[in-house]
C-alpha cells in the first residue's frame, strides 16, 4: 500500500488538480491500494504555524505562509476527492510532553471530530479509519478507544506514539490499545517503521504500519540488514566486493558491491539514495511477508525470537536524539 499525504497534496498540486486528473490512482499510475492520512499529524508537526479549536485547525502553509482551515468535514471532502481506498478521520495528536489536561482535551476533540468525519462521509467505497489518542496514559487510551469503537469504523489506528517517547512506552501503549480494539477490524500503528519495532508490534496484534524511516535512513546511507542497520559511509566498505547483504534479493544487492555503494555516497550521487531506498523497502517488504507466512503456519513466535536475537537495534539514546532532531526539523519558526 502507498500512503499519500493529504496536507502536502492540498498545498501542491491542489486537491482539485488531482481530482481533475482522475484521482490518485490514475494521477500517480498506481493500481494497488492507497491510504491517505487526514493531514492532522503534519499540522501537529508544524506547531508554530497552526491554531487548533473545536471547529478545526487554522494553519499557515510551510511553503508560502498563506493561511488555511481544515475541518473534519473538509478532511473527508478532500480525501473523497483524492479517491484513496483507506481514508483517515481528522484527529488531534498531542505532543509527548503535553500535560494530562491537554491530552484529555485532544482525546475529547478527536472523538468529536471522528463523529463529524463519519457523518460527512458520502462515498461508500472508501474505508474510514478512526485514530485512538491518549498519549502514554492507559486510562485515556481506554477512554479514546471506547468512544471511537462505539461509532463503528472500518478500522482503527493507534496515533500519538513514536513521537519522542521511550520505546518501552511505545510498546506498552500499543499493547494496551490493541487489547481495546475489535479483533475483526484492522489495527494500524501509525509512524512506526523500525524493523524490530514492527516485529514487536505484530506480536501485540498490529496489522498495518507506516513510516518514512526506511527511506529517510536510506538517504543518510543506512541499510537494513538481518543483524541491524549498517552505515555504508564507513570507510570499511570502500573495498568490499560483496553486496551489502549477500542474502538479499533486491536489485541493489543483486547488482552492486558495497564498495560501489560507498563510492556513490562519498560522491553524493543521486543514484546512491535510490539504490539504498530500493534495498530498505525490499527488506521491509520481505520482513512483512515472512511475518505473514509465519503467522499462518503458527511459527511466528519462534520467527520473532530468532529475528530479535540477531537484529541489533539502534541504541535508545541515539534513537531519541535522532527523533527529536527530525521533529525539530519539521517545526519551522515563525
Q: Report the C-alpha gap between 190 and 101 in whole angstroms.
A: 23
* Catalytic residue (one of 85, 98, 115, 210): 210
Lowest mean pLDDT among 55-64, 137-146, 194-203: 55-64
Report the chain's mean pLDDT, rounded to a whole number.
93
Q: Is residue 107's pLDDT more than 90? A: yes
User: Does residue 330 carry a pLDDT above 60?
Assistant: no
Q: Model confidence at 62, in pLDDT bands (50, 70, 90)?
A: confident
What's the CA gap between 296 and 310, in Å, rounded?
Answer: 23
pLDDT at 324: 61
Identify the residue with better confidence: 320 or 178: 178
Which among 172, 168, 203, 189 is positioned nearest to 304, based on CA atoms?
203
Band (pLDDT 50/70/90 cuts) for residue 318 is low
Confidence of residue 333 (pLDDT cuts 50, 70, 90): very low
pLDDT above 70 for 326: no
- The pLDDT of residue 13: 98
pTM of the entire predicted model: 0.92
Give the C-alpha separation, 140 to 107, whole Å.
7
Is 197 an annotated catalytic residue? no
pLDDT at residue number 110: 97
Tens-digit pLDDT profile for residues 6-57 = 999 999 999 999 999 999 999 999 999 999 999 877 667 766 678 889 999 9
Phi/psi of residue 288, each to 5°?
A: -65, -40
Please, which contacts does 307-314 make with residues 24 or more away whose CB atoms are closer than 8 Å?
307/195, 307/196, 307/199, 307/226, 308/196, 308/199, 308/200, 310/226, 310/227, 311/195, 311/196, 311/226, 311/227, 311/228, 312/227, 312/228, 313/194, 313/196, 313/228, 314/194, 314/228, 314/229
| Stronger pLDDT, 323 or 286, i.e. the higher one | 286
Identify the helix (H) or strand (E) that includes residue 155: strand 155-158
- Would residue 210 show up in a list of annotated catalytic residues for this protein? yes
pLDDT-above-90 percentage for the chain? 85
DSSP 313: P
Q: How confident is the model at residue 320 (pLDDT cuts 50, 70, 90)?
A: low
Domains defined along the chain, listed by start = 2-210 (3.20.20.105), 216-320 (no CATH)
pLDDT in tens, 121-155: 999 999 999 999 999 999 999 999 999 999 999 99
Kindly report, residue by residue over 279-313, the tens digit of the pLDDT. Answer: 999 999 999 999 999 999 999 999 999 999 999 99
The pLDDT of residue 39: 81
Mean pLDDT of 152-179: 96
Region 209-215: mean pLDDT is 95
Please pick, among 37, 91, 197, 245, the residue that the annotation labels catalytic.
37
Q: What is the pLDDT of residue 328?
A: 61
The band of 334, judged by pLDDT with boundaries at 50, 70 and 90, is: very low
Amino acid at each position: 500500500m502507498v500512503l499519500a499525504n493529504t496536507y502536502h497534496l492540498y498545498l501542491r498540486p491542489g486537491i482539485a488538480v488531482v481530482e481533475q486528473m482522475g484521482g490518485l490512482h490514475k494521477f500517480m499510475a498506481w493500481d494497488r491500494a492507497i491510504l491517505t492520512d487526514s493531514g492532522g499529524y503534519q499540522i501537529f508537526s508544524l506547531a508554530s504555524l497552526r491554531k487548533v479549536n473545536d471547529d478545526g485547525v487554522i494553519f499557515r502553509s510551510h511553503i508560502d505562509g498563506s493561511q488555511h482551515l481544515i475541518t473534519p468535514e473538509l478532511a473527508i471532502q478532500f480525501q473523497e476527492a483524492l479517491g484513496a481506498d483507506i481514508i483517515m478521520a481528522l484527529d488531534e495528536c498531542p505532543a509527548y510532553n503535553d500535560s494530562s489536561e491537554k491530552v484529555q482535551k485532544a482525546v475529547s476533540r478527536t472523538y468529536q471530530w471522528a463523529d463529524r468525519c463519519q457523518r460527512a462521509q458520502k462515498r461508500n467505497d472508501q474505508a474510514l479509519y478512526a485514530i485512538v489518542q491518549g498519549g502514554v496514559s492507559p486510562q485515556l487510551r481506554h477512554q479514546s478507544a471506547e468512544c471511537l469503537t462505539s461509532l463503528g469504523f472500518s478500522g482503527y489506528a493507534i496515533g500519538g506514539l513514536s513521537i519522542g517517547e521511550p520505546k518501552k512506552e511505545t510498546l506498552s501503549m500499543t499493547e494496551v490499545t490493541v487489547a481495546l480494539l475489535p479483533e475483526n477490524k484492522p489495527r494500524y500503528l501509525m509512524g512506526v517503521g523500525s524493523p524490530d519495532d514492527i516485529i514487536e508490534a505484530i506480536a501485540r496484534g498490529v496489522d498495518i504500519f507506516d513510516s518514512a524511516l526506511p527511506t529517510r535512513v536510506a538517504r543518510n546511507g543506512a541499510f537494513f540488514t538481518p543483524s541491524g542497520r549498517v552505515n555504508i559511509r564507513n570507510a570499511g566498505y570502500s573495498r568490499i566486493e560483496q553486496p551489502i547483504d549477500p542474502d538479499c534479493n533486491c536489485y541493489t544487492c543483486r547488482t552492486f558491491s558495497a564498495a560501489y555503494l560507498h563510492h556513490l555516497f562519498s560522491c553524493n550521487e543521486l543514484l546512491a539514495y535510490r539504490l539504498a531506498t530500493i534495498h530498505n523497502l525490499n527488506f521491509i517488504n520481505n520482513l512483512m511477508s515472512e511475518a505473514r507466512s509465519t503467522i499462518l503456519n503458527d511459527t511466528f513466535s519462534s520467527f520473532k525470537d530468532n529475528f530479535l536475537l540477531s537484529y541489533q537495534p539502534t541504541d535508545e539514546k541515539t534513537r531519541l536524539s535522532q527523533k527529536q532532531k527530525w521533529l525539530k526539523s519539521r517545526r519551522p519558526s515563525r
